[in-house]
DNA sequence: TGGACCATAAAAAGTCATACTTAAAGCGCG
DNA sequence: CGCGCTTTAAGTATGACTTTTTATGGTCCA
């Protein structure tokens, strides 16, 4: 079973965060808006302590700035820590989800081919096995409207590639890729089964990595990401 | 002048953060270590309020986890939000700086060529002008041990490329690139002037972007990053 | 006698209210 | 026009109380 995600955590401060974060990232409090601690405390019926803790976190995400005698100022979008998983989650849940999905897909297009190339040079036998397993899993579930299972294998596959690259910066993008992939199928119900060519390419990446052919792994993965971009162009405005 | 960086901020909680963050990322409190709020409060001579605020931030960076009846547990490295600018700063200042520099350079190698290609398709005239200006600035300062000025142009150049890509995820990596470039020259005093080929390549990227030649912009930028990787291999073990 | 299960106690984080300190924005006076 | 005072809101500290979770210990059954 999938984990509970890390939003909606326990504790008042976490719940306040899950109220403020989405509100800010959704533009409900546009940049330049000034809030006061007491005001927030009253509105959400929590103590100032709780508000301050939540604010410290928002501040570390560069969503707001707290200044004495002024209050909490919502910062312009350009300042936000857009790599923070929580910020990504909030934005994906909000109004500019399409734009966000596009940004992330472009990032994927840059990172995943590079990761695949590196993976070919440093994946462990276990990782190669996992790769093959999930690629075959995708094949097996690519027909018959088993999108749920298909997605799980797809996500796992890309996670393994990123982890196998041996680069921790790449590895940490696993959640991002998962969010993008999940978003794709969840957003609009995909009636049709995945395209067979896409499935085949995953198998090929697994092969290339197993054989240590970085060049080919990168190249095929690049085609996968090109596909993803194209798909996005069809679905989104 | 360069900005004051956002570490060492005002406020006790920020200072506590600047004590705990580097200590944790440096492995001074290894993963699994358990701290208690009161203990920390006493050791750093601050109130529990302050400790809790700092902890909330560390928690949002996934450096620690706070559990009732247990305390603050330092999380394994794999959990850390390695894209958080503050975490990057802390780690670059610490012991595994070389490893960190390498990770970030690999990331650059994946992202910057893609960014250059996009920039060729969407850079404004102003951005093209800036690009040319900084490329020429690099040429002008590439001889005569003017590394300080050279670095400034270099950083500015790469920032403009990333911003011109029109992708906010890429744009936000400007600080990372700046940190890597700065680290390169600061770490070991570079006696020799930059290689002329490297300088020339920057001029070529500026040209390609101006002419809208994404293919070439990407290709030359890729060579620049290959150079950066090679340089790292020479300097680091 | 040994093990499993449940109730209870203790420990530490979480929450709240309050009092007090500090910095800075804005106003008014010289 | 500028200097300083006032006022405001964030920052800090403390103590009392709540909640959750772990660990302990004891009982009951096999």
* C-alpha closest to that of B222 among B101, B114, B103: B114
Distance (Å) from CA B53 to C1' C15? 14
**pLDDT tens-digit readout, A210-226:** 999 999 999 999 999 99
Q: Is 80 exceeded by the pLDDT of residue B186?
A: no
Listed range (A31-35, A98-102, B9-13, B199-203) with the worst mean pLDDT: B9-13
User: What is the rounded distance in angstroms from the CA atom of residue A8 to the CA atom of residue A5?
Assistant: 8
Alpha helices in A26-82 (DSSP H): 37-44, 48-60
Task: Judge: B167–A106 Cβ closer than 8 Å, yes or no.
Answer: yes
Q: Which of A60, A114, A118 lies at the smallest CB-CB distance from B60?
A: A60
Residues of A with CB under 8 A from a CB of B: 13, 49, 52-54, 56-57, 59-61, 77-78, 81-86, 103-104, 106-107, 109-111, 113-115, 118, 167-172
The ranges assigned to domains in chain B are: 12-79, 96-235
Q: What is the mean pLDDT of residues A77-88?
A: 96
Quick one: pLDDT at residue A5?
Answer: 43
Q: What is the mean pLDDT of residues A125-145?
A: 95
Q: Is 70 exceeded by the pLDDT of residue A1?
A: no
The answer to whether some atom of strand D lies closer than 7 Å to the beta carbon of A211 is no
For B60, name the nearest residue in chain A, comparing CA atoms only: A57
Distance (Å) from CA B138 to C1' C6? 75
Q: Is 80 exceeded by the pLDDT of residue B131?
A: yes
**pLDDT tens-digit readout, A144-188:** 888 889 999 999 999 999 999 999 999 999 999 999 998 776 655
Q: Is 60 exceeded by the pLDDT of residue A230?
A: yes
Residue A124 DSSP symbol: -
Percent of chain B with pLDDT over 90: 83
Query: Is the distance from CB of A45 to CB of A16 less than 8 angstroms?
Result: no
**pLDDT tens-digit readout, A3-62:** 334 556 789 999 999 999 999 999 999 999 999 999 999 999 999 999 999 999 999 999
Total number of residues shown for chain A: 237
Topology agreement, domain B12-79 and domain B96-235: no
The answer to whether some atom of strand D lies closer than 7 Å to the beta carbon of A69 is yes
**pLDDT tens-digit readout, B206-231:** 999 999 999 999 999 999 999 999 98
Quick one: pLDDT at residue B147?
Answer: 86
3-state SS of A136-184 is: HHHHHHCCCCCHHHHHHHHHHHHHHHHHHCCCHHHHCCHHHHHHHHHHH
How many other CB atoms are there within 10 angstroms of residue A220's CB atom? 22
Query: Is the distance from CB of A211 to CB of A122 less than 8 angstroms?
Result: no
Listed range (A91-95, B30-34, B204-208) with the worst mean pLDDT: A91-95
Residue B78 DSSP symbol: G
Quick one: pLDDT at residue B213?
Answer: 98
Cα–Cα distances (Å) from A32 to A60, A72, B18, B126, in that order, read 17, 9, 27, 27
Task: Judge: B168–A84 Cβ closer than 8 Å, yes or no.
Answer: no
User: What is the rounded distance in angstroms from the CA atom of residue A220 to the CA atom of residue A113?
Assistant: 8
Specify the fold of A96-235.
Answer: 1.20.120
Quick one: pLDDT at residue A182?
Answer: 87
Q: Say if domain B12-79 classifies as CATH 3.40.50.10490.
A: no
For A170, name the nearest residue in chain B, comparing CA atoms only: B107
Quick one: pLDDT at residue A9?
Answer: 75
* C-alpha closest to that of B64 among B52, B76, B75, B79: B75
């Amino acid at each position: 079973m999938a984990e509970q995600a890390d939003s909606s955590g326990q504790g008042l401060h976490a719940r306040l965060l899950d109220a403020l974060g989405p509100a800010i990232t959704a533009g409900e409090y546009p940049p330049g808006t000034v809030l006061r601690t007491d005001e927030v405390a009253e509105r959400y019926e929590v103590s100032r302590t709780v508000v301050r803790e939540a604010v410290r976190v928002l501040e570390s995400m560069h969503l707001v700035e707290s200044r004495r005698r002024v209050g909490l100022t919502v910062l312009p979008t350009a300042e936000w820590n857009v790599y923070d998983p929580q910020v990504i989650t909030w934005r994906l849940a909000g109004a500019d989800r399409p734009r966000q999905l596009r940004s992330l897909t472009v990032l994927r297009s840059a990172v995943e081919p590079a990761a695949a190339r590196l993976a070919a040079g440093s994946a462990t036998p276990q990782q190669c096995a996992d790769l093959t397993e999930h690629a075959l899993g995708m094949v097996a579930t690519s027909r018959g409207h088993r999108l749920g299972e298909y997605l799980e294998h797809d996500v796992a596959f890309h996670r393994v590639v990123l982890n196998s690259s041996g680069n921790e910066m790449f590895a940490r993008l696993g959640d991002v890729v998962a969010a993008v992939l999940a978003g794709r199928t969840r957003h609009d119900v995909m009636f049709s089964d995945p395209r067979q060519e896409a499935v085949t390419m995953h198998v090929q990446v697994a092969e290339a990595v197993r054989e240590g052919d970085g060049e080919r792994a990168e190249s095929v993965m690049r085609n996968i990401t090109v596909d993803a971009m194209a798909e996005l162009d069809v679905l989104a405005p």
